[in-house]
Structure 1
Amino acid sequence: MDPQTPARIPIGISDCLTGSPVRFNAGHKHSSLCTEQLGQWFELVPFCPEIAAGLGTPRQPVRLVGEPSAPRAVGTRDASMEITEQLLAYGETVAATHPHLCGFILMQKSPSCGMERVKVYQDNGQPAPQTGSGLFAKALMQANPLLPVEEEGRLHDPVLRENFIMRVMVMAAWKQLGEDGLTRVRLIEFHSRHKYLLLAHDPDAYRRLGRLLANLRDCDLQRLAEDYFADLILSLKRKASRRSHSNVLEHIVGHFKRALAGHEKSEMQSLIEQYRLGMVPLVVPVTLLKHHLLNHPDAYLDSQAYLQPYPAELSLRNAI
């Protein structure tokens, strides 16, 4: 790789989604969304927990059996073939040995990789009323509860896809902060860059985290930073609404109150209102704001992750 080319952000992924023939029938579940769209911008790191558990291809399918809260992973034809402990252990291992991952994309409905809504069967062979999680996915998420995780099927929802990628980018920025060296100044700068993004997703967390960082003089910086980021990344998981985005857009426009002419202010307000009413996507008012920022530079706004939270080429704000 060219030393001037920045490394792509690593995201874990169920290997079958990359096109690898690792499923029980020696097939795959190739996702062009993942490999062709996201793969251009992120390093997809594949994992197959069933292969890691020692199963080959083709193989006897596995399903979840027992209590939905703590099911076992057993063969569909031969229940004596059980890989429960292997899947759980592999989830913990991946979490421990791949701390560089900034997100994970899982295969839905899989007894190993499904994030939620996975069928669990009773001992009589009938599906239980409650569903569960794939055992690898469950162990991975329990071992690293802050890691942004989504299922490939859910990523076809534009709002969920945008939210997932946004959290991946924030996770990557936080890991970079750790590599650069945590200091009080860098923590404040990180929070400042993400304030409007946080305000769009969780106004209460915006105020709460602001108070948390109000006095860093006599604190245990490492512990406070860990508490801060846990609150931040979980708060960002909340879906932003058109109303909350509009509120942030209004805040940003306030920075231009002396710079914009009357007709420019009217145009900006009109676009924000159109966005709030669902007439145009978020990219429309944000693009105009970025145009005004070019004409009227503002160092604080220029640093805001909200205005460019991920590569523009992903077009994630064109459909929300």
Structure 2
Amino acid sequence: MQFNAEKIQIGISSCLLGEKVRFDGGHKNSTYCKKELSQFFRFIPVCPEMAIGLGAPRKSIRLIKDGDVILVQSGDGSLDVTHELNEFSHNKVSQLDKLGGYIFCSKSPTCGMERVLEYKKGTNNATKTGIGVYARALMEMYPLLPVEEEGRLHDPNLKENFFTRVYAYHDWQCMMHSGLTKHKLIQFHSRYKYLIMAHHRESYKSLGPLLADLSNLEEVAEQYFTGFMTALKHRATRNSHTNTLQHIQGYFKQDLTKEQKQELTDSIAKYHQGVAPLLVPITLINHYLREFPKEYIQDQVYLNPHPEALKLRYGY
């Protein structure tokens, strides 16, 4: 996969970039986001609470469940910003159609992606069942957009999955922007076959046949993209990666010496056993591709789904 020089736009909670926008006047600066990821992405910071004029420091707000309605108020009920936040969220997310992903601050009543405290009206009883007002609006408008919370990016598997989806989502958007054709759609699927296999075998079996009839190209493309991004949301496992690597290994059976075949088999086995990271068999396959070029395999996004400098295949 070729990566554009232009940086992908990633939405992000402003506090994660060190901006002092939290209710206590502080921030939740993420060194990983600010120092490392900023080399690869153009961040679009948003703080809904500051955007509606609450200022910092300010009175803290919470999600309050009143029947079927979610209110956003201060704990004592003296401040109610439900209307303001809903209006801002609706207007803001409509402007974010160029994003390739979003990184949220966890637990926030505006930006929390999941498990936000939701209080029963008139009590201090809360359950972790809420979604931040702004986060909900964004995810409802762009249900296939890759989203994640900063804290979860410390998990190597979750992190690799998120950025795999970011680059795939961006790749699709670039293709659509260039003008959708039957050939481009078929080529897109061809390049992503083994990545889909690694993430969700059932989708690997179903997405191909979907392209058999392209008489209604736009409709099929929409169905395909939904299935494609849903497939990638499934986290690849050691078993599924191993299966995919073995499929790719089969393309070299006529080229490799007995010793080379054994070396590749051993590297895949070590990955499967957890002794070596995924990067080890991937690197060896790429080495053999330089020696024995195979266009179909060289085009597979699976071997290069994101820039190597992100170091996403070292940790698992």
* TM over 0.5, shorter chain: yes
1:161-190 deviation per Cα after TM superposition (whole angstroms, max 9, x unaligned): 000000000011011001111000000111
1:215-273 deviation per Cα after TM superposition (whole angstroms, max 9, x unaligned): 32xx2111110111011001100011101000110111111111111110011011111
Distance, in Å, in 1 between the alignment partners of 2:213 and 2:60 is: 56
| 2:181 equivalent in structure 1 | 183
| 2:53 equivalent in structure 1 | 54
Distance 1:133 1:119, change over 3 A: same
- Give the length in aligned residue pairs: 313
Distance, in Å, in 2 between the alignment partners of 1:124 and 1:98 is: 36
Which residue of 278, 284, 288 corresponds with 1:288? 284
Question: Amino acid of the residue matched to residue 60 of structure 1?
Answer: K
1:24-60 deviation per Cα after TM superposition (whole angstroms, max 9, x unaligned): 1221111011111211111111011111222111111
Distance, in Å, in 2 between the alignment partners of 1:129 and 1:26 is: 26
Q: Does 1:319 align with 2:315?
A: yes
Distance, in Å, in 2 between the alignment partners of 1:282 and 1:40 is: 24
| 2:113 equivalent in structure 1 | 115
Question: Amino acid of the residue matched to residue 275 of structure 1?
Answer: Y
Distance, in Å, in 1 between the alignment partners of 2:183 and 2:309 is: 32
For the Cα contact (< 8 Å) 1:65–1:122, is it kept in 2? yes
Q: Secondary structure at the match of 1:44?
A: strand
1:75-110 deviation per Cα after TM superposition (whole angstroms, max 9, x unaligned): 234x13212233233333333211110100000000
Q: Secondary structure at the match of 1:251?
A: helix
Give how far 1:69 is off: 6.7
For the Cα contact (< 8 Å) 2:66–2:121, is it kept in 1? no
What are structure 1's unaligned runs of at least 5 residues? none
| 2:22 equivalent in structure 1 | 23
Q: Secondary structure at the match of 1:255?
A: helix
| 1:203 equivalent in structure 2 | 201
Distance, in Å, in 2 between the alignment partners of 1:281 and 1:68 is: 49
Q: Secondary structure at the match of 2:313?
A: helix
Question: Amino acid of the residue matched to residue 210 of structure 1?
Answer: G
Higher strand proportion: 2
Q: What pairs with 1:1-320 in structure 2 (closer than 5 Å)?
A: 6-67=5-66, 70-77=69-76, 79-216=77-214, 219-320=215-316
TM normalised by structure 2 equals 0.95
Distance, in Å, in 2 between the alignment partners of 1:116 and 1:75 is: 20
TM normalised by structure 1 equals 0.94
Distance, in Å, in 2 between the alignment partners of 1:128 and 1:44 is: 33
Question: Amino acid of the residue matched to residue 291 of structure 2?
Answer: N
Question: Amino acid of the residue matched to residue 72 of structure 1?
Answer: L
Distance, in Å, in 2 between the alignment partners of 1:284 and 1:33 is: 24
Distance, in Å, in 2 between the alignment partners of 1:230 and 1:135 is: 24
Distance, in Å, in 2 between the alignment partners of 1:226 and 1:215 is: 14
Distance, in Å, in 1 between the alignment partners of 2:84 and 2:220 is: 35
Question: Amino acid of the residue matched to residue 159 of structure 2?
Answer: R
Question: Amino acid of the residue matched to residue 310 of structure 1?
Answer: H
1:128-149 deviation per Cα after TM superposition (whole angstroms, max 9, x unaligned): 2452111111111111111100
For the Cα contact (< 8 Å) 1:68–1:132, is it kept in 2? no
Question: Amino acid of the residue matched to residue 146 of structure 2?
Answer: P
Q: CA RMSD in A?
A: 1.4
